[in-house]
Amino acid sequence: MHADDREILRLISKCREMGDVSKKTKLLEYINQLLPLESRIRRPSLITSDGIDNLLSWIEVKISPPIYGLATP
């Protein structure tokens, strides 16, 4: 895992703790900009806190190393 990935995971954790949807949305946009172009998400114009959490989970899965070698190379 790269240092950039660790920073993104740290920001994801911070974003999940926020209660203000507007601030969560801004942090999600920032996180999205840190991702490689091919991994960036297209978020809907209207989004809820739960929707943001779902997108954060998707990002986590994309950048996290495989667990217990279950992923195929």
Along the chain (73 residues), what's the average pLDDT of each consecutive run of 10 residues?
A: 81 94 94 90 87 93 72 54
69 within a domain of the structure (yes/no): no
19 within a domain of the structure (yes/no): yes
Q: How many distinct structural domains can be found in the chain? A: 1
CB 28 within 8 A of CB 56: yes
20 within a domain of the structure (yes/no): yes
Burial class (CB in 10 A: 0-12, 13-18, 19+), 28: buried
68 within a domain of the structure (yes/no): no
Taken as a whole, the chain contains a residue count of: 73
Predicted local distance difference test score (pLDDT) of residue 13: 94
Structural domain containing residue 11? 3-35+46-62
Predicted local distance difference test score (pLDDT) of residue 51: 92
71 within a domain of the structure (yes/no): no
What predicted TM-score, i.e. pTM, was given to this entire model? 0.79
Is residue 63 left, alpha or beta, with left meaning phi > 0 and alpha meaning psi from -120 to 50? alpha
